[in-house]
A and B are shown apart, each in its own frame.
Chain A
């Protein structure tokens, strides 16, 4: 059956296979249990996590790992809050030391208000990380030339923004995303700026391999329902992309036969 192909349609990142094309962030939730439940409902197999100081004055503070089992869900350590290569490298080397994490998300930001990535620092850092054996998924601008440079620097996945982080604006430059899609065989994942489930569908219909969502789920009025909505939206978008959409015409084209009209 045609539909059987969907089961084989896996997301492959750094040789690892995933059934879900939705990656979710674990930030901004009201509690760890809310976060864990939303992840479960989203069906995500990869979650981003941040590296921060342990609270040494409160020894009984719950740990993320107690709620989300890293043996079942792939942790993707990020460099959120890093504004230069040095800090990003330090953060990811520490992340690797926690327990062997090699698959990481690099984001080096350049501006504290718009949170756009600093692509010069990002490129430099990608190169170093790749040489050190990291598998690097890279948050970047939706610039096809920078995406190409990242690919040449050893990135394992290209993750252009849809819009500024947490803005909820959706995909602002579909054409750039399509150009990046055409030029790269690397996994292409829309990271940041999505606001609602349909944005994820559009990303998938543009040919992206996946989407990464945090705020749109965590800050929705009903995060659990939004997690489900995103899960379905990603599946719908992928199915739509694989199905081959019809061409666009200016004028109408009747769906019922003209022949035999009474």
Chain B
């Protein structure tokens, strides 16, 4: 299977072409209820991550709440 490079939180990751966003989130052990996700600057509906296929050069941001003033 062809592999593609994407960026997750600024870091380059290699994933299988056409793999799903939900696969990536599972692999990274992301607690989905406690995060928000952006794909190429668009907010992703967290219920639909299994419908989203990853493409070359996709930029994903996964954020959560941390301590702050």
Where the two chains meet, the residues of A that have a C-beta atom closer than 8 Å to any C-beta of B are: 25-29, 32, 35, 48-54, 56-57, 59, 63-65, 75, 77-78, 80, 90, 93-99, 165-166, 192, 212, 214-215
Which residues of chain B in 7-64 are interfacial with respect to chain A, using CB atoms and an 8 Å cutoff?
A: 8-11, 28-31, 33-38, 41, 43, 46, 61-64
* A63 touching B43, Cβ below 8 Å: no
Q: Given A32, A48, A56, A97, which contacts B36 in the complex, CB threshold below 8 Å?
A: A97
Q: Which residue of A lies closest to B41 (CB)?
A: A90
Please indicate the chain A residues that have their CB under 8 angstroms from the CB of B1 in the complex. Answer: none
Given contacts A63-B34, A97-B43, A98-B35, contact A53 B65 (CB under 8 A): no
Contacting residues, chain B, for A75 (C-beta < 8 A): 65
Choose from A50, A90, A166, A214 the contact partner of B66 (Cβ within 8 Å): A50
* CB <8 Å contact, A28 and B69: yes
Chain A residues contacting B10 (CB-CB under 8 Å) are: 53
Q: How far is the CA of A212 from the CA of B68 in the complex (A)?
A: 12
Give the residues in chain B near A29, CB-CB below 8 Å.
67
17 A-B pairs (CB sep. < 8 Å): A25-B67, A26-B66, A26-B67, A26-B68, A28-B69, A49-B66, A50-B67, A51-B66, A54-B9, A59-B29, A63-B34, A64-B67, A65-B65, A77-B65, A90-B41, A94-B43, A96-B36
Binding site of A, secondary structure by majority: helix, strand, loop or mixed?
Answer: mixed
Give Cα A64–Cα B62 distance, bound, in whole angstroms: 15
**Could you tell me if A54 and B64 are in contact, using CB atoms closer than 8 angstroms?**
yes
B interface residues, tally (CB under 8 Å):
26
B68 touches A27 (CB 8 A): yes
Q: Which of B's residues lie within 8 Å of A, judged by CB? A: 8-11, 28-31, 33-38, 41, 43, 46, 61-69
Contact present for B34 and A65 (CB under 8 Å):
yes
**C-alpha spacing A28/B68, complex, angstroms:** 7
Closest A residue, CB atoms, query B8 = A56
Residue of A48, A94, A192 touching B68 (CB-CB under 8 A):
A48
Q: Which of B10, B35, B37, B68 has the most CB of A within 10 A?
A: B68
Q: Does the CB pair A50–B35 fall under 8 Å? A: no
Task: Tell whether, in the assembled complex, residue B31 and residue A63 are in contact, meaning their CB atoms are under 8 Å apart.
Answer: yes
Q: From known contacts A59-B28, A63-B34, infer whether A35 and B67 are also in contact, taking CB-CB under 8 Å.
A: yes
Q: Which of B63, B67, B68 is A54 in contact with, Cβ under 8 Å?
A: B63
B68 touches A53 (CB 8 A): no
Q: Give Cα A57–Cα B10 distance, bound, in whole angstroms.
A: 12
B63 touches A52 (CB 8 A): yes
